[in-house]
A and B are shown apart, each in its own frame.
Chain A
Amino acid sequence: MFDHGQPSYAEVNKDIISTMLETGPKYWMLLGGTMSVAGIFFFMPWIYQLFVGVGAAGMNHNAVWGSYLSNFIFWIGLSHSGTLLSAVLHITNSPWRKAVYRSAEAMTLFSLMTAALFVMVHVGRVWFVHWSFPIPNQMGLWPNFRSPLMFDVMAITTYLTASSIFIYMGSVPDFAAVRDASTGLRRRLYTIFSFGWRGTAREWHTLGWAYTFFAVFVIPLAVSVHSIVSWDFALSAVPGFHHTIFAPYFVCGAIYSGTAGIVTVMYCLRKFLGFSRYIGQVHLDSLGKLLIALSMIWTYINIVELFTTWYGGTSYELEALSFRLTGFYAPMYWEMILFCAFVPLLMLSKKIRWSWNKMLVVSILINIGMLTERFIIVATSQPRKFLPDSFGFYVPSWIEISITFGSFAIFATLFLIFIKWVPAISLYEVKETLKPLRRDA
């Protein structure tokens, strides 16, 4: 599991905690860069849109949903790797989970936050966003729980809460280790963060039980969240949206893009935080195999979607399908097929699976494909519904493109802040994979 020999317990503490305590100018420059990009490309165009109205985006009468919602689905999807994968691997007791899960869970949290921002951008008048919560407004009007949008509010709020608790509770013993390695204000802060953890048998025992229950709750929750996001589309009668396969399609796509996201994040942790000792070939190989399996399921579901639409023979479904495959956005559709169905097959070769650089390229291409997939669903269905007099066209405006670009900087900023406050690799779980401290070991 360890590429450069097993570290000692003390080295695990030193290696991982030092990435939090020692901060060089490169980090500050990078953080400043991502914050600036987020400010210029995300928040400034958003503020502009708040002033001039949501008409600044390319959405129009026939296409009332645009890239904001496709980005929302993309970020929700990216969130699905972390907590879900971590919970599944915890329940199945997979040892390779231990070095990667903390950062994967952080990905979940920050992807969800970024996704939530897109809802606020999409709704236009963000100051009324609280109307979507189950509280009555000034007219005594309560939200309608028969709407899939309300399912979304409940599911995403629950997922954000559960994921935050899941990552925080898993970090408590590590916060105590940081407390012990720090002095002054940082020590006082981490004393609070760690709840005064000492690592007694009772504390470990209780945490073990609670953590397993969190994992058990989180697995069905994660599946439900993306199913519910898919129902935003599938419960409408719009051709291209109204498919019963959408729930498994979205869940599979979410785990797929999330797992590719983990590979990208692992590459960065190895490269920039020097975690090559802890994140090794076994992790890359396992994630590569998982990506191959997910790409095949994703491809199968796409084939089923095409087949059932064609076999159904409904004229307006066929029109939407034809527009998707051969219309204005056809190059993007086929790009998606290339990146998500064919490129992952390269990982069948061990040479690709064992090369960090090649896997980075593959993982980024998969996520470009998945971003495109969400855009294609939104942009080729609504403007092509039913009769030709309701046909329209949707092209994102520069505001939307800028906000999409800026959202990656928001995610990067949150992640950069995270790695300075929380150990990016779980100290105690990595120690569990080492040779035990026993005379007979």
Chain B
Amino acid sequence: MAIVGSFAFEEDFLGAAKTLKASGFDKLSLLSPIPVEEAYEVIGLDKSRVRHFSLAGAIFGAIAGFALAVGTALVFILPTGGRAIISVPPYLIITYEMTILFGVLFTLLGFHFVSGLPAWRDRPYLDSAGIDRFVIVVEGVAADQATRAEAIFRDAGADEIQQVEDGQ
């Protein structure tokens, strides 16, 4: 079972989240219409792993870009006015562009991997979380703990509390 509580004010929402966390409810999702930095701290988010993807993508792109330019020149040799076949200055431009291209693509991949999206299955959600409400979803709540979780919501000032099925 999941308990969903909705709050009109940010500090009530954060207060409830901290209390729930301290009371041993670990499967918390904190939903908000805008990014809330303090919510990151409550659920222990610090530096995102996305940055590793960005770095890996940029390094891969740099190597791939240079290899593409050099490999192309070697596969089909075009001697031009005695100039070098492997001409580093222009190939660095290709390297630069590919660094950025793969940096961006890997960052996108990192976003999906770290955020767990896309997730098109049904999960506990209130439409108002996309408008002006701060919502806490506590999943995996046993029947005997539901009353305690609801009490925490009520004490913190929730204006709506629902019991729903856990996400599929």
- Taken residue by residue from 72 to 114, chain B's Cβ proximity to chain A (1 for < 8 Å, 0 otherwise) reads as 1101101010010001001101101110110111011011101
In the complex, A221 Cα to B72 Cα: how many Å?
23
Whether, in the assembled complex, A205 has its beta carbon less than 8 Å from a beta carbon of chain B, the answer is yes
Question: How far, in Å, is A129 (CB) from chain B's closest CB?
Answer: 18
In the complex, A321 Cα to B158 Cα: how many Å?
73
- Taken residue by residue from 53 to 85, chain B's Cβ proximity to chain A (1 for < 8 Å, 0 otherwise) reads as 010000000000100110011011010100100
Partner of A221, one of B69, B91, B100, B119: B100
Q: Are A228 and B93 in contact (CB under 8 A)?
A: yes
Q: Are A162 and B116 in contact (CB under 8 A)?
A: no
Q: What is the predominant secondary structure among interface residues of chain A facing chain B?
A: helix
Q: Are B107 and A210 in contact (CB under 8 A)?
A: yes
Question: How far, in Å, is B51 (CB) from chain A's closest CB?
Answer: 7
Whether, in the assembled complex, A197 has its beta carbon less than 8 Å from a beta carbon of chain B, the answer is yes
- Taken residue by residue from 13 to 36, chain B's Cβ proximity to chain A (1 for < 8 Å, 0 otherwise) reads as 000000000000000011111111
Q: Are B35 and A208 in contact (CB under 8 A)?
A: yes
Partner of B132, one of A10, A165, A439: A10
In the complex, A162 Cα to B127 Cα: how many Å?
31
Q: Are A8 and B100 in contact (CB under 8 A)?
A: no
Q: Are B90 and A206 in contact (CB under 8 A)?
A: no
In the complex, A155 Cα to B94 Cα: how many Å?
8
Q: Are A145 and B94 in contact (CB under 8 A)?
A: yes
Query: Could you say which of A39-47, A212-220, A305-313 contacts chain B?
Result: A212-220
- Taken residue by residue from 179 to 198, chain A's Cβ proximity to chain B (1 for < 8 Å, 0 otherwise) reads as 01000000000011001111
Question: How far, in Å, is B93 (CB) from chain A's closest CB?
Answer: 5
Whether, in the assembled complex, A405 has its beta carbon less than 8 Å from a beta carbon of chain B, the answer is no
Q: Are A206 and B111 in contact (CB under 8 A)?
A: yes
Q: A residues within 8 A CB of B90?
A: 145-146, 151
Q: Are A13 and B131 in contact (CB under 8 A)?
A: yes
Q: How many residues of A are in contact with the other chain, CB < 8 A? A: 61
Contact of A143 with B34 at beta-carbon distance under 8 Å, contacts A154-B94, A161-B104, A221-B100 already known: no
Whether, in the assembled complex, A199 has its beta carbon less than 8 Å from a beta carbon of chain B, the answer is yes
- Taken residue by residue from 113 to 146, chain B's Cβ proximity to chain A (1 for < 8 Å, 0 otherwise) reads as 0111111110101010111101000000000000
Whether, in the assembled complex, A5 has its beta carbon less than 8 Å from a beta carbon of chain B, the answer is no
Whether, in the assembled complex, B10 has its beta carbon less than 8 Å from a beta carbon of chain A, the answer is yes
In the complex, A413 Cα to B62 Cα: how many Å?
37
Question: How far, in Å, is B123 (CB) from chain A's closest CB?
Answer: 7
In the complex, A203 Cα to B123 Cα: how many Å?
14
Whether, in the assembled complex, A150 has its beta carbon less than 8 Å from a beta carbon of chain B, the answer is yes
- Taken residue by residue from 20 to 63, chain A's Cβ proximity to chain B (1 for < 8 Å, 0 otherwise) reads as 00000000000000000000000000000000000000000000
In the complex, A202 Cα to B115 Cα: how many Å?
6
Q: Are B33 and A431 in contact (CB under 8 A)?
A: yes
Q: Are B42 and A201 in contact (CB under 8 A)?
A: yes
Q: Are A142 and B75 in contact (CB under 8 A)?
A: yes
**Cβ-closest 5 pairs across A and B:** A9-B132, A209-B48, A195-B118, A195-B117, A206-B115
Residues of B participating in the A interface, judged by any CB pair closer than 8 Å: 8-12, 29-36, 39-40, 42-43, 45, 47-48, 50-51, 54, 65, 68-69, 72-73, 75-76, 78, 80, 83, 87, 90-91, 93-94, 96-98, 100-101, 103-105, 107-108, 110-112, 114-121, 123, 125, 127, 129-132, 134
Residues of A participating in the B interface, judged by any CB pair closer than 8 Å: 8-10, 13, 134, 136, 140-146, 150-151, 154-155, 157-158, 161-162, 165, 169, 173, 176-177, 180, 191-192, 195-210, 213-214, 217-218, 220-221, 224, 228, 428, 431-432, 436-440
16 A-B pairs with C-beta separation under 8 A? A8-B132, A146-B83, A146-B87, A150-B94, A162-B101, A180-B127, A180-B131, A195-B112, A196-B118, A201-B29, A202-B29, A205-B40, A213-B50, A428-B33, A431-B34, A437-B132
